[in-house]
Amino acid sequence: MPRCTLPYPWPKALAAMLLAAALACPPGAAAEEGDKPQASDSRSLSIPVVIAPVVQEGRLVGYLYLGLKVTANQENAAERMRDELPLLQDQILRAFNNAPIPAEEAGTDKAKASLIQTATAALAGLKEAEGVAEVELTDIQNVPF
């Protein structure tokens, strides 16, 4: 069986370009001078990405990519919840999949309220999320197919 070979050493060239780009831009170089790290709040936890399905007539037509902020009643509750972050994300994701957002409502205030209510209810049943006082949307992006 004939062997297929490429006449160009493209993998080596690609690797060299990626290495040069990585060395030219050290970590943190993209941060602006005014950016300062925020002090950690012992009562709040950021959940960077959770996905909610968007449906139309029972068919999946896109996703909402959400950023959430969870605030607890107790001091140092965020530290405890950070250790359980994958479990919290999974619980919220399962709840969103059981209550998808209709396409005509995606991005509206009604959808945002529904997402917050669903996430709050999902966390209410978990002992790992005990003491959750509030769930806020920090970011929402509608990505249709």
What is the domain extent for residue 124? Answer: 50-144
Asked if the structure places residue 5 within a domain, the reply is no
Asked if the structure places residue 67 within a domain, the reply is yes
Asked if the structure places residue 34 within a domain, the reply is no
Asked if the structure places residue 75 within a domain, the reply is yes
Q: Using alpha carbons, list the distances in angstroms from residue 118 to 19, 31, 33, 105, 114.
A: 44, 34, 38, 15, 6
Q: What is the pLDDT of residues 107-128, one digit of tens each?
A: 899 999 999 999 999 998 788 8
Asked if the structure places residue 11 within a domain, the reply is no
**What domain count does the chain have?**
1
Asked if the structure places residue 116 within a domain, the reply is yes
Asked if the structure places residue 135 within a domain, the reply is yes
Give the closest residue to 95 by CA, choosing from 137, 50, 60, 134: 50
Q: What is the pLDDT of residues 53-94, one digit of tens each?
A: 999 999 999 999 999 999 988 887 888 888 889 999 999 999
The predicted pLDDT at position 132 comes to 87
